[in-house]
Amino acid sequence: MKLLNSLGPNPRLVRMFAEEKGLELATDEIDIMAGENRQPSYLEKNPGGQLPALQLDDGSVLAETIAICEYLEELHPQPALIGATPEQRGAARMWTRRIEQKIVQPLTDGFRFAEGLAMFKDRLHVIPQAADDLKATAQEGLTWLDGQLGSKPFIAGDRFSLADIVLYSFLDFGRGVGQPIDPSNKNLAAWFERVTERPSADASLHAAARAGGMRA
C-alpha cells in the first residue's frame, strides 16, 4: 500500500489522519505544480486526476480523500477517528460533510478561481466571476460553524475526529491564500490553536518534504 502524495490540503489531511493513527505509509510524490497529475501515467491510476490516491497491494487505486480515510479506519480501527459505533461514525460523517459543503468547497473553489487561476485554468472549468462570492460563502460557513462549535472542544463533540482533520487542513491552507479565520469567530480560533498543538498537525505539514516518504 502506498500513498500517491503531493502538495495541497487533501493529501495533507490524509497524512494527518495516518499520523493520528500511528500509521507509516510509503509515498510516491506526484508533482502537481508541473501537472504530473494530468498526465496519462497518473490518469490511468486515478482518472479523476486529483491527489491523493492510495495504491493497494493488488495494484488497484483508491482515490478521494474521505474514501481513503474510511479505508484506513477500517484496516486500523484504533484510535477511532471516524467512530467506534454506528452513531459515532454517523456524527463524524455528518460534520465532515457539513464542513466540506459549507466551507471546503467554496474556500477551495474561491482559491482556484482567483489566486490559483493561472494553475487551474487549463485543468478545470474555472469560474472567476464567482470567486468573491465563494470566498464570502466560506466565511459565512465558518461563522455558522463557530456558533455550532460553541464551547465543545472538537467539531463532533468531545472527541477528535475526521471532521477536525478536514477542517484544520483546509483552514491552514486557507490562511496561506488570503482566507484566514475571522478573529471574531473566537470559538473556531481557539479550536484552531488546540489542533495546531497536536503533533500530527506539524508532522503532516512537513511529511511531503521528508526524504524517504511519510514517516508516520
Taking residues 37 to 56 in sequence order and writing x for each that binds a copy of itself by CB under 8 A, - otherwise, the string is ----------xx-------x
Nearer to a copy of itself, 86 or 183 (CB): 86
Nearer to a copy of itself, 26 or 127 (CB): 127
Burial (CB count <10 Å: 0-12, 13-18, 19+), residue 163: buried
Amino acid occupying residue 22: G
Contact with a copy of itself (CB under 8 A) among 2, 29, 36, 89: 89
Instruction: Please give the full DSSP string across 37-51, using - where no structure is assigned.
Output: GGSHHHHTT-TT--S
| Vertex 66: Cα angle to 63 and 70 (nearest 5) | 100
Q: How far apart are CA 205 and CA 12, in angstroms?
A: 6
Taking residues 148 to 167 in sequence order and writing x for each that binds a copy of itself by CB under 8 A, - otherwise, the string is x-------------------
Residues of this chain that bind a copy of itself (CB under 8 A)? 47-48, 56, 60, 62-64, 66-68, 70-71, 74-75, 86-87, 89-91, 93-94, 97-98, 102, 105, 125, 127, 129-130, 133-134, 136-137, 140, 144, 148
